[in-house]
Structure formats: C-alpha cells, structure tokens
Amino acid sequence: MVMVGMDTLIRSAVLIAVVSLVLACRSKALPCGEGTHEEDGQCVSDDGTGTVDTAADDTDSDDTNGTDTDTDTDDTDTDDTDTDTDTDTDDTDDTDDTDDTDDTDDTDTDTDPGDGDGDGYTADDGDCDDTDATVFPYDSDGDGVADGCGWRVTAGYFYNCALDSAGSITCWGDDTYDQVTDAISGTGYAVVSAGAQHSCAIDSLGSMECWGWDGYDLIADTPTTTGYTAVSGGGAHNCSLDSSGTLDCWGYDGNGEVTHAPTTRGLTAVSAGQYHNCVLDSSGGIECWFTDLHGVISGTPTSTGYTEVSAGQHHNCALDASGTIDCWGWDDYLQSSDAPTGSGYLAVAAGGFHSCAIDSSGSIVCWGDDVYGQVSGAPTSTGYTAMSAGQRHTCGINATGGIECWGDDSYNQVSDTP
C-alpha cells in the first residue's frame, strides 16, 4: 500500500515537471506589444493584419544594465552606463597618462622630470642631483639658498676644479703638483675648494679628501673624521668647518694661519687667503687672522650682518645682507677701493689682485688688475649665479649651469673649461 502511494507520487512529480518545462518554454516567447500576440514564434496582430517585428527597432534608450550584450544594428544605447573601456587618444580623463612632462613633483621615476631619489624634489624644482636624497638642495655657502643647477666651480692659482650635478669632480689647468690628474674620482661630493696648488673636497657624509701639493702636510694632515660642511684652500694651508661651526686649520703656520684660528663654535663660513683667513660668525660678524699685510686684518669691518666673505691674496671682500660690498687690504691695483657702490649684489669674490661681483640681474662686474683681461674680459650677459676668482683669472656659472672662464690662460685654465 505504501509502495502504490509512492508510485503515484512519482508519476505526479513527473507530470508536474513536464508541465513546468512547457510553461518555461512559453515564457521565452517574444515580448509582443499591446494589440499583438505570439503565434508560431512571431508577434501577430490581434486583428489578423499580419506579423509585427519589434526587435529591429530597439533603441535601448533607457538601458542602465551595465552588462548590455545587445548586438542590434540600430542600438544607440544613449543612456548606457556600461563601464567605459574607451582607448581613444583624446580621452582627457586618462589617469594612466605617462606623458606627464609638466609634473614638477612627480615621484614616478619613469616620467619626466621624475624624482629618482624620492626626496620630493625634481629637476624642475632645481634638484640637480636626483640620485642621492642627502645632497639636495645644494647650499655650499650655507646662506639658505640652494646653489644653481649644473656645475659649481672653484678657482686656484692657475687651475680650476668643478663639481657636476652628480657630485663628480673635474679639474683642469696647471698640473705641476698633480692637482688636476690626482682629482678624486666617484660621485656624491658636495663641496670642493681649490687652493694655490692643491684642492680639498667633502662628500655627502662630511668626509674630507685633499690632493695635489703636499708641502707642509697639506694633504697628509687632512682630518679623518666626518661631519664637515665647508672647506677652503689657501696659499699653503686649509681651513674647514664642521656641522657645529667649529674650525679646523692645517698646513703652513709660519704666520699663525693655523694656530691662531678662532676656537668659538657656531661659525657659518670660512675663506682662506694667501697668509690669512676670515670667518663669519652667527651674527654676520667678520673675524680675520693672521698676517696683517696691507691692512688685510686691521681693516676688517667691525659691524655685523654680513652674509659672505672672500679672502684674496692680500685683500678681502665681503657682502652684507643688503647686498652692499666692502673690500679692504692691499689696493695697489684698486682691487679694494674700486668696489662697486650701491646694494643688491648677490655674490663677491676676491682673487689675486682683482675682484668680481654679481649684481641682481646676474651680470658680472670686475675691478682691479687687468693685465690678463681678468677685468675687461668678464662676460657681458646676465643670469650668472656663482663665480670664483683665481690668481689672474675668474670662472662663473651662467644661467644654464655652464662654466665660463676669462683672464690668464697660460695653463689652459680658461680654454680647457669643460
């Protein structure tokens, strides 16, 4: 009796399934409109006038499905909100555009200008060294303003050395004591200074190396500690500053150039001359020592507010906060008394027997000894950002970061400029 009941139930289930299948098939009938009905797979008018094709005119004007697979030839999909995979070249919303040449804070190294060292600065921002985040922005003189892009140059007696944007050193000119050929190799150097016939450089860790003439242990006595931020090469001695503003000097001491160096901390700049040195303290005051030939020491200004000091052979020049120039010391060639008046000057450099300055337009003006064209040969264009005066020549950095030199060329210190 139970088995018969089950058989009946199974037959009923099969019948229900068949009916459901038929109904499902009918549900796939064409969606005929009002006044029509389906008949043999077509929409037929209720009044018997014929078939009606409703598929070919589908305009899908309100289709918001997002997965529309309609392939009708007349489908205009005017409101279709499908995800846009448009690859048109004029798509202004393309957020993956790598032609981002105007991006001045782009941390993507694959784009131009890029930020290769991840320091947040690019070439457009003045980041000349984009491989080492520890040396941007360059500020070799500690004035709070980054140096110009491109080369930085320092002039010795009859030769020069320069740093490129990667911190690599190049020297040219007189090589009597290997001050050119022994220039240190590698990159990442932040400061270089040429003395009479020797040079010193500081790397990004503050370590110092010197090369060239080793008289008076100029090379051998170079400090071996780190943390140095500035160095200046003189006639036969050197002086450097560490990060605390403490001074170290070594080399020739026949006139107290080394042993009479100030012991105070907080010094901000140093410049070594032939037989003397000058420093700036935190108030902008100037202190010079030791040999007082031609008033190079006793003529030192006593006021404060100076931002730069440059020691020449037997004279000095300094720049105050207003851009006014003061020079003192030996004046046989008017290298002191002919200093330009007025304010707004950006830099000053004292050489052997001449001096040069950069005004607010970036123009260079020189005065003093002109036997070798070190005054009259100065460039006449504008846009110069830095300079260094040697014994009888001068080199400057132009608006594009290139080096230009003029004056005495007896050792190709002018003509061999890179």
Task: Choose among 225, 223, 247, 250: nearest CA to 236.
Answer: 250
Asked if pLDDT for residue 333 goes beyond 50, the answer is: yes
Q: What is the predicted pLDDT for the residue at 107?
A: 34
Lowest mean pLDDT among 41-55, 119-133, 337-351, 376-390: 41-55
Q: What is the predicted pLDDT for the residue at 117?
A: 67
Lowest mean pLDDT among 69-73, 126-130, 245-249, 344-348: 69-73
Question: Is 364 inside a domain boundary?
Answer: yes
DSSP-assigned letters across all residues of 225-237 = -S-EEEEEE-SSE
In 51-182, DSSP assigns E strands to: 152-155, 159-163, 169-173
Q: What is the predicted pLDDT for the residue at 164?
A: 87
pLDDT in tens, 205-217: 999 999 999 999 9
pLDDT above 90: percentage of residues in the chain: 60
Task: Please tell me the distance from the alpha carbon of residue 152 to that of residue 170, in angstroms, as a whole number.
Answer: 10
The whole-number average pLDDT for the span 98-113 is 35
Asked if pLDDT for residue 166 goes beyond 60, the answer is: yes
Asked if pLDDT for residue 365 goes beyond 50, the answer is: yes
Which residue in this structure is represented by tokens 């071996």? 224
Q: What is the predicted pLDDT for the residue at 33?
A: 55
Question: Is 171 inside a domain boundary?
Answer: yes
In sequence order, the 6+-apart residues with CB closer than 8 A to the CB of 314 are 273, 274, 293, 294, 296, 329, 330
More confident residue, 301 or 82: 301
Q: What is the CATH number of the domain that holds 294?
A: 2.130.10.30
Question: Is 66 inside a domain boundary?
Answer: no
Which residue in this structure is represented by tokens 């020189």? 366
What is the residue range of 173's domain? 134-407
Question: Is 367 inside a domain boundary?
Answer: yes
pLDDT in tens, 62-78: 443 433 434 443 444 43
The whole-number average pLDDT for the span 76-88 is 40
- Per DSSP, the three-state class of 132 is coil
Average pLDDT, the chain: 78
Lowest mean pLDDT among 26-30, 62-66, 117-121, 275-279: 62-66
Which residue in this structure is represented by tokens 């190799």? 185
Q: What is the predicted pLDDT for the residue at 269?
A: 96
Provide the CA 49 distance to its chain's centre, in angstroms: 83
Q: What is the predicted pLDDT for the residue at 402?
A: 87
Q: What is the predicted pLDDT for the residue at 4?
A: 42
Task: Choose among 256, 212, 214, 247: nearest CA to 228.
Answer: 247
Whether 43 and 30 have beta carbons less than 8 Å apart is answered as yes
Task: Please tell me the distance from the alpha carbon of residue 323 to that of residue 307, in angstroms, as a whole number.
Answer: 9
Query: Per the structure, how many domains does the chain have?
Result: 1
Question: Is 37 inside a domain boundary?
Answer: no
Which residue in this structure is represented by tokens 């080096």? 403
More confident residue, 86 or 399: 399
Asked if pLDDT for residue 235 goes beyond 60, the answer is: yes
Task: Choose among 158, 205, 155, 267: nearest CA to 249.
Answer: 267
Question: Is 226 inside a domain boundary?
Answer: yes
Give whole-number Cα distances, 24 to 14, 19, 29, in Å.
15, 9, 9
Question: Is 414 inside a domain boundary?
Answer: no
Biggest CA pair distance of the chain = 139
Q: What is the predicted pLDDT for the residue at 376?
A: 98
Whether 198 and 219 have beta carbons less than 8 Å apart is answered as yes
The whole-number average pLDDT for the span 342-352 is 97
Question: Is 18 inside a domain boundary?
Answer: no
Q: What is the predicted pLDDT for the residue at 41?
A: 53
